[in-house]
């Protein structure tokens, strides 16, 4: 590790609102919904839904055994804690542990499954490299709580920008696997259940996620269309157009719900290869 977790220097506690900002909720845009609570489908129905998705969307072979084809993660699988585009580093190939530890979502980490008032100090095991295996991250609380996670350096919708993704490891040992060399973006939606997500909501969600890779604030010129809601809201697919330098970038994106915290569902979107 870059430093030893023996003499922590506690950071200030942050509120749930600050946590939502650190996960990229405001950066990617949040859609507020209301609907009845829906439970996750039984395993047999989940398998049938995955087969239906495969028929509706042709996923690359390299996406097999990744988060985009895994069953819906559960509470024991952990949660997506942090996704943040790096606006100052450019198209980097790696990021050292000390720089990662200084990022907002790491320095202000909050254990949302435990005592939200406990301050944590982050320790990252080493350098995160693009298209490489995740790097272990350790968070030591001022009250002695230990939280483990995995951090990845990923491509985004912008070829000039990377992002950091932090997945807090649950009790099941499940790993959040991503297809390599694939642009990834993320956004969160506030909903009672995945079945409450509509095509309009998904358009806003996807356009916001892609737009955040280009700028952190201000008007978002990205537009999404041809949206489909699959598997009761678990997956979505659509096209996003983004004006850039007098031209228009246009790609299809496939999204999957990854985790839920207090009614906030985190989605990851992967850019599908151009056909």
Instruction: Quick: pLDDT tens for 215-270.
Output: 877 788 999 999 999 999 999 999 999 998 889 999 999 999 999 988 899 999 99
Mean pLDDT value across the chain: 82
User: Which of the pair, 246 or 184, is modelled with greater confidence?
Assistant: 184
Within 8 A by CB and 6+ apart from 219, the residues are none
Given a contact cutoff of 8 angstroms between Cβ atoms, the answer to whether 96 and 117 are in contact is no
Min mean pLDDT across 24-28, 131-135, 142-146, 171-175 is at 24-28
Tell me the DSSP string of 165-178. Answer: EEEEE-SS------
49-53, 63-67, 99-103, 167-171: range with lowest mean pLDDT: 49-53
Q: Is the pLDDT of residue 10 over 90?
A: no
12: number of Cβ within 10 Å: 8
Q: Where does the pLDDT of residue 114 fall: very low under 50, low under 70, confident under 90, or very high at 90 and above?
A: confident
Half-sphere exposure of 148 (CA within 13 A, CB side): 12
The alpha carbon of residue 123 and the mean position of all alpha carbons in its chain are separated, in whole angstroms, by 20
Quick check: 253 and 68 in contact, CB under 8 A?
no
Say which residue the tokens 């973006």 belong to: 185
Distance CA 181, CA 28 (A): 22
List, for residues 137-167, the tens digit of each pLDDT value: 999 999 999 999 999 999 999 999 999 999 9
Give residues with Cβ within 8 angstroms of 8, minimum separation 6: 121, 140, 142
Q: Lay out the sheet containing 78-86: strands in order across.
A: 78-86, 162-169, 146-155, 135-141, 120-124
pLDDT at 53: 56
pLDDT at 90: 94
pLDDT of residue 55: 53
pLDDT greater at residue 213 or residue 43? 213
- Write down the pLDDT at residue 112: 79
Give the β-pairing of 30-32 and 184-190: parallel
Tell me the C-alpha distance between 199 and 190, whole Å. Answer: 15
Predicted local distance difference test score (pLDDT) of residue 21: 37
**Integer Cα distance of 180 and 123 in angstroms:** 25
pLDDT top residue among 1 and 244 = 244
Indicate the burial class of 7 (C-beta count within 10 angstroms; 0-12, 13-18, 19 or more): exposed
């Amino acid at each position: 590790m870059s430093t030893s977790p023996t003499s922590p220097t506690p950071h200030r506690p942050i509120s749930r609102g600050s946590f939502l900002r650190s996960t990229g909720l405001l950066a990617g845009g949040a859609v507020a919904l209301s609907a009845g609570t829906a439970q996750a489908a039984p395993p047999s129905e989940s398998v049938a839904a995955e087969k239906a998705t495969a028929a509706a969307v042709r996923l690359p072979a390299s996406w097999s055994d990744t988060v985009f084809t895994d069953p819906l993660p559960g509470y024991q699988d952990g949660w997506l804690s942090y996704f943040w585009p790096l606006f100052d580093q450019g198209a980097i190939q790696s990021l050292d542990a000390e720089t990662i530890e200084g990022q907002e979502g790491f320095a202000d980490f909050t254990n949302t499954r435990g005592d939200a008032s406990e301050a944590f100090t982050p320790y990252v095991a080493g350098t995160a490299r693009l298209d490489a295996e995740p790097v272990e991250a350790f968070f030591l609380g001022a009250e002695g709580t230990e939280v483990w996670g995995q951090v990845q350096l990923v491509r985004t919708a912008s070829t000039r920008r990377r992002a950091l993704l932090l997945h807090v490891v649950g009790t099941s040992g499940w790993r959040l696997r991503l297809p390599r060399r694939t642009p990834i973006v993320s956004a969160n939606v506030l909903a009672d259940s995945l079945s409450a997500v509509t095509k309009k909501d998904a358009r806003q969600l996807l356009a916001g996620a892609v737009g955040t890779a280009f700028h952190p604030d201000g008007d978002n010129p990205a537009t999404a269309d041809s949206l489909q809601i699959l598997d009761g809201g678990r997956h979505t697919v659509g096209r996003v157009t983004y004006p850039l330098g007098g031209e228009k970038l246009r790609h299809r994106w496939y999204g999957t719900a990854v985790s839920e915290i207090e009614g906030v569902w985190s989605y990851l979107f992967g850019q599908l290869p151009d056909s």
